[in-house]
Amino acid sequence: MEDMQKHYRSLELDKILKMLAGETACDDAAELALQLSPSHSLSEVQRLLQETDEAHTLMARFGAPSFGGLKNVSNSLRRAEAGGTLTMAELLRIAGVLRTLRGIVDWRAKSAGQKTCLDWRFDSLMPNKYLEDRIFGAILSEEEMADSASPQLASIRRKIRSASSRVREQLDQMIHSTAYQKYLQDPIVTLRGGRFVVPVKAEFRGEIAGLVHDTSASGATVFVEPMSVVEANNQVKVLQSEEQAEIERILAELSAETGNFASGIISGYQAAVELNLIFAKANLGYKMKATLPLVNDKGEILLKKARHPLIDPNRVVPTDIELGIGFDTLVITGPNTGGKTVSLKTVGLLTLMAMCGLLLPVAENSRISVFQKVLADIGDEQSIEQSLSTFSAHMTNIIKVIAQADETSLILLDELGAGTDPVEGAALAMSILEVLRRKGARIAATTHYAELKAYALQTVGVENACCEFDVNTLRPTYRLLIGVPGRSNAFAISQRLGMDEEIVERAKELVSSENVLFEDVVQSLETSRQKLEAERAQTEKVRLEAERARQEAEKIRDSIQKKADQELEKAHRQASELVSRTRGQIDALLNEMEELKKQRDKALSAEQKARLKSGLRSLEETADPVHSREEQGAYVLPRPLKVGDSVLIYDIDKQGTVLQLPEGNGQNVLVQAGIIQTRVPLSNLRLIEKKKIANKPRRTVTRSMTSRAEAKVTTECDLRGQTVEEALMNVDRFIDSALLSGIEQLTIIHGKGTGTLRAAVQQHLKRHPNVRAFRLGTFGEGEAGVTVVELK
């Protein structure tokens, strides 16, 4: 295990665990964080990650619970359980833990509707409000017991205060007496050994009878307890002893009660510590902007926009890393300081973090694998803990790695084969990779040997990768490019740093032609990659713009459809109101006719009534001016349209004149409707044939009625534009006519205007003897512009 810890330290897992410990709120949780070890079980890792993710979700919705008062009080609780008496400080710490447990339970109650895998831990907390209040009610501080702790303690302390007051009164009289003032060093009362005394000059010690309790440092003052207050001081001391005994009794009682709940408090504390660690993981993930990865045990790693958690986010570019899906070995090449080691550490560290139940600083839907062994040979200036720079040290580590490697291992090798002859080092590196691949391990290795680049190109299951390096700024971007071998850039970097151009050119001449050719191929590949990447970025931009345009078009279409539906609904509503109003008027006429029938003993025939009701139904059916488009398919034009024909635009019930017929195979006709010219589909037009009016004899019906009923029957009186005097005369005439005709409900139209005419009419109606009631019109009747009158 110690050997594995060395590998974990080389990947800097200990630094992450220190960051995690810094997020905890109590010592035990911090200790748990530092001792955290990666789990090698897929189900266990999935459980740990689910706990962290659900804690992260709860924090996002309800904030984090407070673990601030957690302290390890197990020893005190076990001692109380065994019958021991606890101090006030210990009891206060236990009450503080109980208060914290209660606060966590109350916090969880806010989110009770959301079930999580953490619920069994919350259910284990078991707060004890009774014991918490009992302790806080009895103890004020680590040194002071409250008077309310018991009635006996309150009584004893009252007696102490009374006795002390009597002693002070006697001594105050003495120090303010002229007879004693010359003997006293200062006119004050003080305490020595818990007894009230007065400071007497040493030379007058015999003048005041009493007991000497102390002497000043200089010897000039002695502190004397006068005999007159000795008995009162004795009483105070006795009471103080009783007070201490009562305090001890109360502490023993509280300790016994606490001991009865010891096991429950300890288990609740342990559950709270575990919860504190889980929420610390969630909070660390929040600070890292981390997400939940998909976990497998097949050795498949796919990290999207991965960031090394120990590097400043402002300096690192998120990178995509893949291993174990299309290939089992990744060879990362490129110059020194190019970010190869960072990429290697990112793979290893994020794997270990996931195995510890930590969220990863990667994009959504990233994949990570659980390994039984994560073995690393990493030693460079970037790691403070170790520096394995010599060839022998590297080989010693690699020999141990080879011995432990199997198909469940992730192996990370930094600068493989470095530190010896380049030709031998490259050959040894290839041989080591072959052995590890035969064992089935997943391997990521960094190197700057050109031979390994060619090996990766030629070998199935081995893939090249390189880290981007900006030659202009001499800074790595830490972005890993998989499938592209790295260039050393040694000449470009040297020249950029100020190396003499002649030296650089001579070095280029000394490089073998094969190597130059290979580097040229790599350069060509890199140029092609950058070009394709720019084109892909442009394509993605165009795709996003097209998607945005599509969404806007859909939004506009939905808006138009919504407005059309609203207009249709409005038209239907207006048509319905028209039908209702018409029906009301017809009903009123029917009622009038019924009344006339009774008066004149002349009834409408059943056939006439049926005709009238049939006409009413026809009116209701035709009063809706908006027709649905589904009705249009049944109509066929009786003949082809001609310019000048009168047509009906069916869906809006509007007449128009044909200005221009469709051209070619078109179906839209140019129609003049009022002052508007519009193109209308042919299927939406109805031809209006002009009918000849035949000279038919008019049918005349003569009825005999009384002369008073010969006046024209109407239920509306329009007063708009009239003066008040004219209007009131017309109202009277209108009401008289309605009474003669037997009409019981009238409508007076006075308009809205300034309201003067309306007020005058309504004031007149109040006094009219034949008016039973009146009201303003409702929606569809004219609202405030009309008054509806009900006659007696």
**Binding-site residue positions:** 334-341
Residue 781 CB neighbours (<10 A): 17
Residue 787 CB neighbours (<10 A): 23
CA distance 111 to 115: 8
| Sequence-distant (≥ 6) Cβ neighbours of residue 269 within 8 angstroms | 70, 72, 73, 74, 97, 101
Sheet holding 319-323, edge to edge: 294-296, 367-369, 301-306, 319-323
CA distance 20 to 789: 83
CA distance 355 to 109: 31
Strands 367-369 and 329-333: unpaired
What φ, ψ does residue 245 adopt, rounded to 5°?
-65, -40
Burial class (CB within 10 angstroms; exposed 0-12, middle 13-18, buried 19+) of 782? buried
Per the annotation, binding residues for ATP are 334-341
| Sequence-distant (≥ 6) Cβ neighbours of residue 144 within 8 angstroms | 88
Residue 34: how many CA atoms within 13 Å on its side-chain side? 9
CA distance 687 to 680: 13
| Sequence-distant (≥ 6) Cβ neighbours of residue 339 within 8 angstroms | 467, 468, 469, 476, 477, 478, 479, 480
How close are the terminal C-alpha atoms of the chain, in Å? Answer: 107
What φ, ψ does residue 142 adopt, rounded to 5°?
-65, -15
Q: Where are the beta strands (DSSP E) in 392-474?
A: 409-413, 442-447, 462-470
